[in-house]
Amino acid sequence: MTCYSFYIFDRHTECIYSKLWARQDRPLSAGIDPSSIPASNGGAQSDLGPARARPARLSAQDDAKLIFGTIFSLRNMVRKLGGPDDRYIHTYAHTTGNGPRKWEKMLIQRNSFISYRTGQYKLHYYETPTSIKFVMLTDTQTLNMRNVLHQIYVNLYVEFVVKNPLSPVEHPGGVGVANELFELALDQFVKGVL
């Protein structure tokens, strides 16, 4: 099992954290000298002409945007198609405030989209009720990682980002998310799980 990358998107659709693992490991394991890659890369593209005209790689930012678009569309599609009980979870929340205490029905949109798999990788998805989205790309053999993403949210994100008194409430541009403790704990957690 290998974990390739991990992304967090906030409720304003912005990618507030991304981490890539193992992307550079593959040429080494395939037995190719890393120094020869740029040369062979350029050669292959000019040799094979228009059939391989697609650009080699996207930048990490573009990757994050594409991933967000994908999960957003898939989530809406799944929500639309899912059975009649998919739309909401009915929970009862204890209202706070000055008025008389009573139970009130709360409607939370439930997210039934779990993961998708292609021939090359598998994308796992978890969304919190505050619509922070956690996405992880792993190899295709990995089983369900939703609970792992939930653990990352509960044990790492809440502990080290939300409870950090110095971090802002929102994280425009990823401010406050990529602090040292969070990064270290995430790295250890992912290495421990896989």
Partner 1 sequence: MEQLCDNSLGWSVVSQNKMVVYALIIINKAGGLVYQRDFAEGLNKLSINDYLVLAGTFHGIHAISTRLNPLLPNDTPSTTSRPLPPSGIEVLETENFRLQCFQTLTGTKFLLFTEPQQPNIENIMGMIYGLYADYVMKNPFYSLEMPVRCEGWERRLVREVRAVNSR
Contact 120, 140 (CB under 8 A): yes
**Residue of 91, 109, 112, 131 that binds partner 1 (CB under 8 A):** 112
By CB under 8 A, residue 193 contacts partner 1: no
Q: Among residues 89 and 175, whose Cβ is nearest to partner 1?
A: 89
Torsion angles phi and psi, residue 181, rounded to 5: -60, -45
Closest separation between CB of residue 111 and partner 1, Å? 9
By CB under 8 A, residue 77 contacts partner 1: yes
Q: Which of residues 135-154 bind partner 1 (CB under 8 A)?
A: 137, 144
Of 182, 173, 152, the closest CA to residue 14 belongs to: 173
By CB under 8 A, residue 9 contacts partner 1: no
Of 111, 114, 133, 110, the closest CA to residue 123 belongs to: 114
State the Cα angle at 112 between 15 and 18, rounded to 5°: 20
Q: What are the angstrom distances between the C-alpha of 153 and each of 5, 64, 125, 126, 181?
A: 16, 19, 12, 9, 14
Site size toward partner 1 (CB under 8 A) is: 47
Closest separation between CB of residue 92 and partner 1, Å? 22
Closest separation between CB of residue 82 and partner 1, Å? 4
SS3 of residue 151 by DSSP:
helix
Q: Which helix (H) or strand (E) holds 67?
A: helix 60-81
**Residue of 19, 106, 117, 178 that binds partner 1 (CB under 8 A):** 117
In the complex, which residues of this chain contact partner 1 (CB under 8 A)? 4-5, 20, 23, 26-27, 30, 32, 37, 40-41, 43-44, 47-48, 51, 56-58, 63, 66-67, 69-70, 73-74, 77-78, 80-84, 86, 112-121, 123, 137, 144
